[in-house]
Amino acid sequence: QKEVEQDPGPLSVPEGAIVSLNCTYSNSAFQYFMWYRQYSRKGPELLMYTYSSGNKEDGRFTAQVDKSSKYISLFIRDSQPSDSATYLCATQKSSSNTGKLIFGQGTTLQVKP
């Protein structure tokens, strides 16, 4: 079983839509959950991170973690064409003293004007 699974999409939505991006993970030792945005041929850009379960909001973005179901979500409100990118979820064990991140495959999002 893969440690982090993410539907690669592509996901296409009209401008202004609410976008839901999701990942599942297999190891209950994962405690930190990150969302990165990656534009084509660029480096991943850290959007948000959360620890354990719960929600975290930053502007139009909300990250949600449900540890009971091992499910991670990123919601984008009022989506814009500039949000078109690949979104990567990543996890890390709380016991990690080395910082190794484990990434999902990434979901490609296209927001159409």
Partner 1 sequence: EPEVTQTPSHQVTQMGQEVILRCVPISNHLYFYWYRQILGQKVEFLVSFYNNEISEKSEIFDDQFSVERPDGSNFTLKIRSTKLEDSAMYFCASSPGFSKHYEQYFGPGTRLTVT
Site string for partner 1, 52-81 (x = CB under 8 A): ------------------------------
User: How far apart (Å, rounded) are the C-alpha atoms in residues 68 and 100?
Assistant: 23
- 49-81 exposure pattern, b = at least 16 Cβ within 10 A, e = fewer: ebeeeeeeeeeebbbbbeeeebebbbbbeebee
By CB under 8 A, residue 32 contacts partner 1: yes
By CB under 8 A, residue 106 contacts partner 1: yes
Binding segment for partner 1 (CB under 8 A), chosen from 16-24, 42-50, 59-67, 72-80, is 42-50
> Residue 83 or residue 106: which is nearer to partner 1 going by CB?
106
Binder among 15, 45, 57, 78 for partner 1 (CB under 8 A): 45
> Residue 5 or residue 70: which is nearer to partner 1 going by CB?
5
User: How far apart (Å, rounded) are the C-alpha atoms in residues 67 and 69?
Assistant: 5
User: How far apart (Å, rounded) are the C-alpha atoms in residues 37 and 26?
Assistant: 22
